């Protein structure tokens, strides 16, 4: 009988390899792909694996975040997903994104390591970003505007 831990390692490596090719529309299509490779999987196991691998759901489907993190490159990579950014008080920025892209944008902001960002929350098409204050908010807004240009 195979070791469940070994199965999980093999399954996750197969998921990484498939996502390296490009996004996967649904968890079910990933289940079907893995099953066709002879792996025993369920939607629940794939869901857990995607979560534990740090996969994110974008408008194109499930994908793994980039392995290398360059602050400006992170925002440049999602610039096409940005729609609008507005201030909301002295240290809150509201960023509108393409539908389904907010979590990807929030992740890019997290990875940027910019000191003016305290934290953020990404929904479906909106990201709330807490900044260190009004000066940090203005700096971040300028960076976002440059990325959108």
What pLDDT, in 10s, does the model give residues 33-56?
Answer: 999 999 999 999 999 999 888 788
Domain residue ranges of the chain, discontinuous segments joined by +: 4-63, 71-148
Eight-class DSSP state of 3: -
What gap in Å lies between CA 97 and CA 17, rounded to an integer?
28
Asked if the 71-148 domain carries CATH number 3.40.50.2000, the reply is no
What gap in Å lies between CA 138 and CA 116, rounded to an integer?
9
Centre a 10 Å sphere on the Cβ of residue 25 and count the other Cβ atoms it contains. Answer: 10
Token reading at 93? 């920025």
Return the top range by mean pLDDT from 7-21, 67-81, 90-104. 90-104
What gap in Å lies between CA 59 and CA 79, rounded to an integer?
14
* Look-up of token digits 């940005």: 82
Pick 36 or 66 by higher pLDDT: 36
Q: Please name every residue paired with 120 in a beta bridge, in sequence order, or none if there are none.
A: 129
Q: Which CATH entry fits the domain spanning 4-63: 1.10.10.10, 1.20.1730.10, 2.160.10.10, 3.40.50.970?
A: 1.10.10.10
- Choose the weakest-confidence range: 17-26, 39-48, 49-58, 93-102: 49-58
Contact between 120 and 106 (Cβ < 8 Å): yes
- Please state, for a pLDDT cut of 90, what percent of the chain lies above it: 48
- Please state, for a pLDDT cut of 70, what percent of the chain lies above it: 91
Cα dist from 94 to 61, 108, 136, whole Å: 24, 15, 14
Average pLDDT over all residues of the chain? 86
């Amino acid at each position: 009988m195979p070791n469940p831990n070994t199965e999980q390692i093999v399954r996750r490596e197969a998921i990484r390899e498939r996502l390296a090719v490009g996004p996967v529309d649904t968890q079910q299509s990933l289940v079907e792909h893995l099953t066709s490779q002879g792996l025993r999987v369920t939607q629940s196991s794939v869901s857990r694996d995607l979560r534990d691998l740090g996969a994110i759901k974008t408008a194109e489907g499930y994908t793994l975040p980039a392995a290398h993190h360059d602050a400006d490159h992170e925002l440049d990579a999602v610039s096409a997903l940005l729609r609008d950014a507005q201030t909301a008080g002295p240290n809150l920025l509201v960023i509108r994104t393409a539908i389904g892209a907010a979590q990807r944008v929030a992740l890019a902001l997290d990875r940027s390591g910019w000191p003016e960002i305290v934290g953020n929350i990404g929904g479906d098409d909106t990201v709330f970003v807490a900044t260190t204050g009004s000066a940090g908010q203005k700096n971040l807004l300028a960076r976002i505007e440059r990325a959108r240009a």
